Chain A
Amino acid sequence: MNENRSADAIIVGGGVHGASAAYHLAKSGIKAVLFEKEYLSSGGSGRSAAGLRQHFGTEVNCRLAKYNLECFSTLEEELGGEFRMEFAQWGYLWVAYTEESMAQLEKNVALQRSLDIPSENLTPGEMKNRWPYLNVDRMIGAAFCAEDGHINPHALTMGYARAAERLGTIVKTYSPVEKLISSGGKITGVSAAGEIWNAPRVLLTAGPWSTPLAATVGVELPVTPERHNLLVTEQIEPFNCPMTLCLDDGAYFKQLPNGSFFFGRDDPDEPKTTESGNSAKFLEGVTRSVLQRIPALKGVRVIHQWSGPYDVTPDHQAIIDWTPVDGLWVNCGWSGHGLQFGPSGGRLAKEMFFGEKTFVDIRSFRLGRFAEGDLFMEPAFI
């Protein structure tokens, strides 16, 4: 396969979705070649806040999220145990300061409960009882799911890729794909690091880099990059602080299994770019927001900040579909919540490759929805 540069399938992008697709295809006997421009997890996957949640406001995301979570607990073993997944379930707590946000959270929780996700609504008093260190002043309430949690995003991505390699997949890192190649409306392969590779099927899982690549064969993806920042603190005694998010100001924080904290905060002024870089004003804004909610962390030190790109669509929902170019399919546009969908993304890629009925109905993720004006907004977007 390596000699004649051809494969059953080519996967473009070594984030969690590409790596998981490689693994699921390899398990079914399909030996793909995966191209990654740098190293595995170097894009959005490895730069994410590494959260796992079932709190979504659309049914398809809830159903897929439930499946993801079922996978994570046994994934370290399934993928060969080479990478420590650091899977932890300290919960996701969505707090609301306005009636409008609270109403949305209640609606989301009702949907989740109808799908057997054990979410609950909490009053500020109930929150104070469970997490006495939280400052609940002015909060109206919250939504909580105790099953939600954390995973190491590098271990997750590299674990999938290594397991795929053991099954025969070729993983080519530091091999940027310059363009896709089609002929007569059919995909025929890619040009990567100056070499032509042939395959009748090509899967694009390149996050925000998918847009320029799809354009090389005339496919327009409404996926744009958006830079988001995070900081990490020194390690302190773990007290299982859940991921705590606020829709009202887009700030969130959580403790990691090693005791460090992550803080993040959405900022509409951040550049719309895939370039990672750092905003000086991020530190002040995010610490002001978060310390209001957990003042006890005032004396803890920030170690560093970093950034990574979301791949944003107009409705903050993924695109998982075959494109108008025969043999080219895409899985991108997760708009900031993509890492945790790695398990289902890989399974769906495999099912689509074989023309099987997908395990969850994903018609709402179709590419045509933008042209049809049939958007379906994900309200639990941060």
Chain B
Amino acid sequence: MHENDVMICRCEEVMLEEIRAWIEKGYSNFDELKRILRVGMGPCQGRGCRDILLRELSRATGKPIGEINPGTIRPPVKPIKLGLCAYGREVDAK
């Protein structure tokens, strides 16, 4: 299997090849790639892909990972049911 065929964001099914192609076009920021490819927008909120993406950005720009903007992390920390947000308790989904 070629390296480019690796799926980086499993929630949104984004391949390494796509990520590299868009970085090549000049979209060299985590938040931009997120908006174009939806990478990191799924239920895991980038837990699986953020580090890999930052490494790719580091490789493409020559900047150390620590200097790359890691993008915005938004609440809630993990997905929660809407009913729980509204009523503060588990509710019957039906």
Residues on the A chain within 8 Å of B36, using CB: 83, 154-155, 158
User: In the bound complex, do residue B81 and residue A298 qualify as a contact, i.e. CB atoms below 8 Å apart?
Assistant: yes
User: In the bound complex, do residue B82 and residue A278 qualify as a contact, i.e. CB atoms below 8 Å apart?
Assistant: no
Residues on the B chain within 8 Å of A302, using CB: 76, 79-82, 85
User: In the bound complex, do residue B76 and residue A304 qualify as a contact, i.e. CB atoms below 8 Å apart?
Assistant: yes
Q: Which residue in A41, A46, A158, A300 is a CB contact (below 8 Å) of B81?
A: A300
Of A100-108, A217-225, A284-292, A312-320, the segment with at least 4 beta carbons within 8 Å of chain B is A284-292
User: In the bound complex, do residue A154 and residue B35 qualify as a contact, i.e. CB atoms below 8 Å apart?
Assistant: yes
Chain B interface, DSSP helix/strand/loop, else mixed: loop
Does B31 count as interface, using CB distance less than 8 angstroms?
yes
Known A41-B35, A42-B31, A301-B80: A283·B74 in contact at CB below 8 Å: no
Known A41-B35, A154-B35, A298-B93: A303·B85 in contact at CB below 8 Å: no
Chain A interface residue count, Cβ-Cβ cutoff 8 angstroms: 32
Does A381 count as interface, using CB distance less than 8 angstroms?
no
User: In the bound complex, do residue A46 and residue B35 qualify as a contact, i.e. CB atoms below 8 Å apart?
Assistant: yes
Residues on the B chain within 8 Å of A276, using CB: 72
Please report the C-alpha to C-alpha distance between residue A297 and residue B19 in the assembled complex, in whole angstroms. Answer: 33
Residues on the A chain within 8 Å of B79, using CB: 234, 301-303
Does B86 count as interface, using CB distance less than 8 angstroms?
yes
Does A305 count as interface, using CB distance less than 8 angstroms?
yes
Residues on the B chain within 8 Å of A39, using CB: 27, 29, 31-32, 35
Does A58 count as interface, using CB distance less than 8 angstroms?
no
Residue of A at shortest CB range from B91?
A: A298
User: In the bound complex, do residue B29 and residue A301 qualify as a contact, i.e. CB atoms below 8 Å apart?
Assistant: no
User: In the bound complex, do residue B75 and residue A278 qualify as a contact, i.e. CB atoms below 8 Å apart?
Assistant: yes
Please report the C-alpha to C-alpha distance between residue A276 and residue B85 in the assembled complex, in whole angstroms. Answer: 21
User: In the bound complex, do residue B82 and residue A234 qualify as a contact, i.e. CB atoms below 8 Å apart?
Assistant: no
Known A83-B36, A287-B85, A298-B81: A304·B93 in contact at CB below 8 Å: no
Render B35-72 as a binary contact track against A, CB cut-off 8 A, 1 for contact: 11000011101000000000000000000000000001
Please report the C-alpha to C-alpha distance between residue A280 and residue B75 in the assembled complex, in whole angstroms. Answer: 9
Residue of B at shortest CB range from A261?
A: B82
Residues from 265 to 298 in A contacting B, C-beta threshold 8 Å: 276, 278, 280, 283-284, 287-288, 290-291, 296-298
Please report the C-alpha to C-alpha distance between residue A42 and residue B88 in the assembled complex, in whole angstroms. Answer: 33
Residues on the B chain within 8 Å of A280, using CB: 75
Does A299 count as interface, using CB distance less than 8 angstroms?
yes
* Min CB gap B93→A, angstroms: 3
* Min CB gap B29→A, angstroms: 6
Known A46-B35, A299-B93, A303-B45: A233·B82 in contact at CB below 8 Å: yes
Residues on the A chain within 8 Å of B29, using CB: 39
Task: Pick from A39, A46, A280 the residue with the most CB of B within 10 Å.
Answer: A39
Residues from 192 to 238 in A contacting B, C-beta threshold 8 Å: 232-234
Does A376 count as interface, using CB distance less than 8 angstroms?
no
* Min CB gap A336→B, angstroms: 20
Known A154-B36, A303-B43: A287·B76 in contact at CB below 8 Å: no
User: In the bound complex, do residue B81 and residue A301 qualify as a contact, i.e. CB atoms below 8 Å apart?
Assistant: yes
Query: Which residues in A have some Cβ–Cβ distance to B below 8 Å?
Result: 39, 41-42, 46, 83, 154-155, 158, 232-234, 263, 276, 278, 280, 283-284, 287-288, 290-291, 296-306
Inter-chain pairs besides A290-B82, A303-B41, 14 sampled, C-beta below 8 Å = A39-B29, A46-B35, A154-B35, A155-B36, A234-B79, A276-B72, A278-B75, A298-B82, A298-B83, A299-B83, A300-B82, A304-B45, A305-B74, A305-B75
For the complex of A and B, the 7 pairs showing the least CB-CB separation, nearest first, are A299-B93, A298-B83, A301-B79, A287-B86, A304-B74, A154-B35, A287-B85
26 inter-chain pairs at a CB distance below 8 angstroms, sorted by A residue, are: A39-B31, A42-B31, A154-B35, A154-B36, A234-B43, A278-B75, A280-B75, A283-B76, A284-B85, A284-B86, A284-B88, A297-B82, A298-B81, A298-B82, A298-B86, A298-B92, A299-B81, A299-B91, A300-B81, A301-B43, A301-B80, A301-B81, A301-B82, A302-B76, A302-B79, A303-B43
